[in-house]
A and B are shown apart, each in its own frame.
Chain A
Amino acid sequence: MSEHVKEITQAEYEKEVLQAGEPVVLDFFSTECPPCEALAPKFEAVAGQFAGKARFLKIFRQGNRDLAARLGVSGSPTLIFFKGGSEVGERLSGEDIKRTALKAQVESMLA
C-alpha cells in the first residue's frame, strides 16, 4: 500500500468519499490495463504533492462493479473529482491523463 493513496471498496464510498472533509480524487482502475499502470505513478506523485489538502483514493473496478455502474464508469482508468460530497469538474479517463492536467484539476478544486 502506498503512502499517499488509499484503496477503498464500494462499502466505504459513503464515508471515504461523500463525507470526506477534504476534496477527493477517486481513481477507478482495472487489471490488464496498461493505461492504469501508466497512471499509477503519476497519481502517486500528485497525491504526495497535495498530501493533507486533498485525498487520493483508488478503487478496483472488477471488485466494485455496482458502484462503477452507479457512477456510470465504463472505462479504466477514470478519475472522478469530489468536493463536499458532490462530483465536480470534468472526469479524466483513458490513456492520455497527464500529470500536469491532474495537478491543474486538483488545484482548481482547492481554489
Chain B
Amino acid sequence: MAERYDLVVVGAGPAGLTAAIYAARARMRTLVLDESVPGGQVKTTHKVSNYPGFPEDVKGTDLAKAFSAQAERFGAKIRRAVEITKHGLEGDLKTFELDEEEQVEAPAVIVATGARPRELGVPGESKFKGRGISYCATCDGAYFDGKEIHVIGGGNSAVEESLFLTQFARKVTIVHQFDHFQAEPVSAQEALHNPKIEVIWDSEPRAFLGEKQLDALRIENVKTKEVRELKTDGVFIFVGYVPRTDLVKGLVKMNPWGYVETGDDMSTDVPGLYVAGDIRSKQFRQITTAVADGTIAALAVQRYLKGRK
C-alpha cells in the first residue's frame, strides 16, 4: 500500500525546504525526499554572507539545519538519505518507490534537486577523485593540513573556498582560465591580499598526473599556449554546476544547457509537476532565488490542488 501525501518535494535544499515550509503551513501533507542530509549545496558551504536576516556570516551547515527545522516544525516530513528507485511523474497521481521497498504517492510534486559540482572532464580527474582531487572544501580541507594545494576556478565558490582552505593548507594556488575573478569583489580582493594565496591567470588544467596518488597537474596558458606541470598535494575543483535532472529527463522542456524550462509559477508541461531552484532555467542561482522559487512553487501547488477538487 502506498502512503499518500498531498505534496512530495524532491530535494531538501533551500528551494525544496522553503516549498515545504509554505506547504506544511497550508496544512498540506508534505513529504520531502533527499538522498543526502538536508541543505543541498548550502550544507557544504563554509559560510554564507549574503542571506538576509543574518547580519553576521552564518555557517552553511547551520543555515541548512535552520531551514529543515523550520519545515519540520510545521509538520513537513523530511526523509534523509533515501534513494528513489522508481518513479512515475506523468499521471494524475505521481508515484515513487523508495529504497526498493516503500511506495509513496501524491497528486503534486515539486522537483528541487538542484545542481551538482561540474567535473572538468580532464584526463586523470576520475582516477584521482578521493585520491587528491576533491569537490568539497568543508569535507576534505583538513586532509591538507600544512600541504600545498591548487584550486581550479575563479567564481564565488572557488574564491571563497580558497579562503577557507588557507586555514589548513600552507599555500593555495588558484588556477583560473581568465585574467580576473568572476567572484564578488569583496571576496576577490580578500583572496588577492591573502599571503597564502597565489593566482595563476589565463590557465586551464589539461591533465592530472600521478601513480596511485595525485602528485602533479598539467596546465596550459590559454594565451601563450605554454604548458607546464605543477607539483601538488591536492586539487579542489570549483568550476560551476550541472543540473540534476535525472528524475524529469524526457518529461519536461529543457534549455540547451539541460536546465528545466518552467512557467512563472514554476509549472512544467506536466500537470501537477513543478520545478524550483537551481535546476530551473534562469539567469541567477543564489540561495535567495532558490527560496523565492520554492515559495512560488508551493503557492502554485496549493492553487492547482484546489482547482482539482
A34 to B61, Cβ gap below 8 A? yes
Segment touching A, from B35-43, B196-204, B278-286: B35-43
Q: How many residues of chain A have a CB within 8 Å of chain B? A: 30
Structural contact, A42 and B139, CB atoms closer than 8 A: no
- Closest B residue, CB atoms, query A91: B130
Q: Which single residue of chain B is at the shortest CB-CB distance from A38?
A: B36
CB distance from B182 to the nearest CB of A (A): 24
Known: A45-B99, A61-B143, A100-B85. Is A32-B130 also a contact (CB below 8 A)?
Answer: no
Instruction: Give, as a whole number of angstroms, the nearest-CB distance from A86 to chain B.
Output: 14
B127-141 vs A, Cβ < 8 Å mask (1 yes, 0 no): 001111111101110
- Measured between beta carbons, the chain B residues less than 8 angstroms from A41 are 80-81
Whether A75 contacts B61 in the complex (CB less than 8 A), given A34-B43, A38-B35, comes out as no
Map CB proximity to B onto A29-55 as digits: 1 under 8 Å, 0 otherwise: 010111111111110010000000000
Question: Could you jot down 25 A-B contacts, CB within 8 Å?
Answer: A32-B61, A32-B138, A34-B61, A34-B138, A34-B139, A35-B44, A41-B81, A42-B81, A42-B83, A62-B142, A74-B130, A74-B132, A74-B133, A74-B140, A74-B144, A74-B214, A75-B131, A75-B134, A78-B130, A93-B129, A94-B135, A95-B36, A95-B116, A96-B116, A98-B83
Q: What 6 A-B pairs are tightest by C-beta distance, nearest first? A: A93-B130, A38-B36, A75-B130, A34-B43, A41-B81, A33-B139
